């Protein structure tokens, strides 16, 4: 089933129906400094995009599935956010070419959703899309060890996997810890990390 089929048919078990709690905490903490723009790749219904907007950071949600459009619009309306804010772009992360780089990139349930063979390419794209002094924030999920017959998505993802992708590109983790709050079914399976060059 394609991503677009999943959204059109409402088969979206990953959609927790609210902002990821660790992102809400990160935005409240001020750790993102004076960021003015954010990119949320694979944003789906857009809960995290809306959270950036509510924190005063202009956010672009990017998703390859056109059927996300009405879902995103409905969620934006639920949060009473104007359609001129919280922009949704339907495009492929691997070819997306915006006019400007972003101050923040937030990855949650995107890196784990793409085939592991594409992860190097994910890191190249993050490097290209993030401003030189920008912040990459990753909520690393699912940090699990399924059996050999397991087939994703989601594909297991651990801090050392993300570090191996980013370190060769000059990123270092300025924060890497277990979040204090997670969506209930994801407790113990997540790490929050902040990366800078």
Q: How far is the CB of 180 from ligand SAM (least distance, A)?
A: 19
Rounded Cα distance between 121 and 165, Å, is 9
Which of 64, 73, 131, 176 is in the footprint of ligand SAM by CB under 6 A? 64
At residue 137, the 3 state secondary structure works out as strand
Contact 49, 18 (CB under 8 A): no
Q: Check residue 113 for interaction with ligand SAM (CB under 6 A).
A: yes
Contact 114, 122 (CB under 8 A): yes
Q: How far is the CB of 5 from ligand SAM (least distance, A)?
A: 10
Rounded Cα distance between 22 and 115, Å, is 24
Which of 72, 102, 106, 110 is in the footprint of ligand SAM by CB under 6 A? 110
Residue 37 corresponds to which tokens in the numbers above?
Answer: 């723009």
Rounded Cα distance between 182 and 142, Å, is 12
Lay out the site mask for ligand SAM across 128-167 (x = CB under 6 A, - = otherwise): ----------------------------------------
Residue 51 corresponds to which tokens in the numbers above?
Answer: 């959270």
Ramachandran assignment for 109, one of left (phi > 0), alpha (psi -120 to 50 degrees), beta (any other): left
* Closest residue by Cα to residue 7 from 39, 43, 41: 43
Q: How far is the CB of 37 from ligand SAM (least distance, A)?
A: 18
Which of 19, 109, 135, 182 is in the footprint of ligand SAM by CB under 6 A? 109
Rounded Cα distance between 180 and 187, Å, is 9
Q: Which is nearer to ligand SAM, 33 or 95 (CB)?
A: 95
Q: Check residue 106 for interaction with ligand SAM (CB under 6 A).
A: no
Q: Check residue 93 for interaction with ligand SAM (CB under 6 A).
A: yes
Q: How far is the CB of 168 from ligand SAM (least distance, A)?
A: 22
Q: How far is the CB of 141 from ligand SAM (least distance, A)?
A: 9
Residues that bind ligand SAM (CB under 6 A): 3, 14-15, 41-45, 62-65, 68, 92-94, 108-110, 113-114
């Amino acid at each position: 089933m394609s991503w677009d089929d999943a959204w059109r048919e409402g088969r979206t078990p990953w959609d927790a129906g609210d902002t990821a709690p660790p992102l809400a905490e990160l935005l409240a903490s001020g750790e993102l400094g004076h960021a003015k723009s954010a990119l949320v790749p694979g944003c789906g219904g857009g809960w995290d995009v809306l959270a950036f907007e509510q924190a005063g950071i202009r956010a672009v949600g990017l998703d390859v599935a056109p059927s996300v459009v009405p879902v995103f619009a409905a969620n934006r309306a639920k949060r009473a956010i104007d359609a001129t804010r919280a922009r949704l772009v339907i495009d492929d992360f691997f070819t997306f070419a915006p006019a400007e780089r972003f101050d923040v990139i937030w990855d949650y349930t995107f890196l784990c959703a793409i085939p592991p063979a594409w992860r190097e390419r994910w890191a190249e794209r993050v490097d290209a899309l993030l401003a030189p002094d920008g912040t990459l924030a990753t909520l690393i999920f699912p940090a699990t060890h399924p059996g050999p017959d397991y087939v994703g998505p989601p594909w297991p993802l651990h801090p050392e996997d993300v570090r191996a992708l980013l370190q060769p590109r000059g990123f270092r983790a300025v924060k890497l810890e277990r979040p204090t709050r997670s969506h209930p079914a994801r407790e113990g399976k997540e790490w929050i990390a902040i990366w800078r060059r």
